[in-house]
Amino acid sequence: MSTELLDLPDVMTEAMMADPYGGAALLREQAPVIRGRLMGAVSVWYVTRYEEALTVLSDSRFVSDFASVTGDQGDDARTQMAEKLGIPAEDYPYLANGMLGQDAPVHSRLRKLVTRAFTVKRMTDLRPGLERVAESLIDAFDGSERQVDLIAEYAYPFSLTVICELMGVPKSDHAAWHGWSTGLGSLEPGGMPAALHDMIAGVREIIERRRDSPADDVLTTLIRTHDEDGDRLSTDELISFVITLMTAGHEPSTHALGNSIAELLVHPEQLARLKKQPELWRTAVEELVRRCGPTQLSVPRYAAVDVELGGVQIRAGDVVQPMLTSANYDPRQFVDPDRFDVAREMTAPGHGHLGFGHGPHYCLGAYLAKLQLSVALPALFNRFPELSLAVAPAELPWQRVPALRRLNALPVVLTPPSAQ
């Protein structure tokens, strides 16, 4: 490692993972753009403030594909990270060449093709099914007061069931997908490469099964886009899409729900407002995503050309990474950002939080993610209005996972209405 990088901040250090909000605040108040390191070895510009983060996410001078960089700018930092994680060269393209790693016009074409499977009407029509899944999981809790882990018994099965039913993944494959998604999200050299390899093989298999037995699901829609449309998906694009949609629709949704439940339980005055004013769930969901969304960093971008940002000169080819957690707490954008307010009004992307990103790569599943929270949270708290943490807030077991905010478990005490 270059000695130049040794003393630079790295969000993947133990200290930053232990206190991501405090660490982000320290960096944010130093400067809007700070030289840092990623995974200990890759030089990166961390973007800590809202206005500058918004620029990176929306300005065409910042790109997702290293090939879009002007001139010969050396090695692709994302490839360096993949090598550090031990991802085989034959599997890496399924991560690098997916929609998240592309720029216009390729990205525009891919997003247009997949958007037909994620229409607002289709997502809205899912609400009755989401309510059914939530109620079924809640019904499984027995009627006596007891301690449960809401990550394992509610957030995980709810999110996994929803995305699997939407995509068309049979129940017999749910456990495998959970294992693959967990391994992929671990960013551990010992588990991530194997999880990705097995996931690719699993996707190939399920595509063939669904091709033989089409249904009214997203996977069938994508297969038809591959098989029949003139401007169709390639096989590799189809596999990358399924991997992206399944992983993005499972792990982040699980932990968005888990984090939100925990946040409400440690702020009982805000939960009390929601019980008295259930119409506030609309704004509460947006506030929860701003405050405790599980994704702390955006996907890395590259400066396509030499550019000045936040008073710093960034060279073409440099890695630039917005810190979403930091931007979402920026007092220059949000009034009293440390205060949790379920009635906080935030407008459309670009004026509100960046929990789902912004610009061309704004999260395709944002509507579905918010729909899940708006269903699963009220369902749980309506059934168990006296739900409480089984441990002190400081004892909640947060995972030490870089760039992500996730609970290993969420132990709570269920108190049914009859016991109150």
Residue 9 lies in a domain: no
With residue 248 as reference, give the H or E element that holds it. helix 235-248
Residues 56-81: tens digit of each pLDDT: 999 999 999 888 897 655 567 677 77
Query: What b/e readout covers 122-158, taking b as 16+ CB neighbours within 10 angstroms?
Result: bbeebeeebeebbeebbeebeeeeeebbbbebbbbbb
Are 233 and 226 in contact by the 8 Å Cβ rule? The answer is yes
In Å, how far are 47, 56, 65, 74, 316 from 319, measured between CA atoms? 11, 11, 11, 12, 9
231 falls in which pLDDT band (50, 70, 90)? Answer: low
Q: What pLDDT does residue 160 have?
A: 93
Report how far residue 285's alpha carbon sits from residue 271's, in angstroms, rounded to the nearest whole number: 12
Q: What pLDDT does residue 75 have?
A: 62
Q: CATH number of the domain at 327, please.
A: 1.10.630.10
With residue 303 as reference, give the H or E element that holds it. strand 301-303
User: Mean pLDDT over residues 279-301, rounded?
Assistant: 94
* Closest listed residue to residue 399, CA positions, set 95, 177, 187: 187
With residue 411 as reference, give the H or E element that holds it. strand 411-414
Q: Please identify which residue in the block is written with the tokens 């000695």.
A: 3
User: What tokens appear for 318 in the block?
Assistant: 């440099």
Residue 2 lies in a domain: no
User: Structure pTM?
Assistant: 0.91
Are 143 and 160 in contact by the 8 Å Cβ rule? The answer is no
Mean pLDDT, the chain, as a whole number? 87
Report how far residue 357's alpha carbon sits from residue 348's, in angstroms, rounded to the nearest whole number: 12
Residues 336-375: tens digit of each pLDDT: 999 999 999 886 544 589 999 999 999 888 999 999 999 9
Q: Please identify which residue in the block is written with the tokens 């069931």.
A: 161
Residue 140 lies in a domain: yes
Residue type, 31: A
> For the chain, what is the radius of gyration of the CA atoms?
21
Residue 256 lies in a domain: yes
In Å, how far are 48, 54, 331 from 29, measured between CA atoms? 8, 17, 10
Domain holding 133, by residue range, is: 14-419
Residue 5 lies in a domain: no
Residue 8 lies in a domain: no
For residues 290 and 223, which has the higher predicted lDDT (pLDDT)? Answer: 290
3-state secondary structure of 276: helix
Residues 196-220: tens digit of each pLDDT: 899 999 999 988 888 888 888 888 8
Residue 2 has pLDDT above 50, yes or no: no
Report how far residue 170's alpha carbon sits from residue 205's, in angstroms, rounded to the nearest whole number: 12
Contacts of 30 (CB under 8 A, 6+ apart): 48
Q: Please identify which residue in the block is written with the tokens 């888990």.
A: 258
Q: How many domains does the chain have?
A: 1
pLDDT over 70, % of the chain: 91
Phi-psi bin for 295: left (phi > 0), alpha (psi -120 to 50), beta?
beta
Q: What pLDDT does residue 1 have?
A: 41
Residues 110-152: tens digit of each pLDDT: 888 777 777 888 888 899 999 999 999 999 997 667 899 999 9
Residue 32 lies in a domain: yes
My answer on whether omega of the bond before 105 falls inside 30° of 0, hence cis, is yes
Q: What pLDDT does residue 349 have?
A: 47
The gap from C-alpha 331 to its chain's centroid, in whole angstroms, comes to 23
Report how far residue 248's alpha carbon sits from residue 265's, in angstroms, rounded to the nearest whole number: 26
Instruction: Please report, to the nearest 10 degrees, the dihedral formed by the alpha carbons of residues 92, 95, 98, 99 taken in order.
Output: -140
User: Mean pLDDT over residues 381-398, rounded?
Assistant: 95
User: What is the DSSP code string of 201-226?
Assistant: HHHHHHHHHHHHS--SSHHHHHHHHH
User: Mean pLDDT over residues 365-390, rounded?
Assistant: 95
User: What is the DSSP code string of 16-52?
Assistant: HHHSHHHHHHHHHHH-SEEEEEETTTEEEEEE-SHHH
Residue 4 lies in a domain: no
pLDDT over 90, % of the chain: 50
At 330, give phi and psi (nearest 5°): -75, 115
39 falls in which pLDDT band (50, 70, 90)? Answer: low
Report how far residue 247's alpha carbon sits from residue 250's, in angstroms, rounded to the nearest whole number: 5
Residues 407-416: tens digit of each pLDDT: 999 999 998 6
Residue 374, class by beta-carbon neighbours within 10 Å (0-12 exposed, 13-18 middle, 19+ buried)? middle
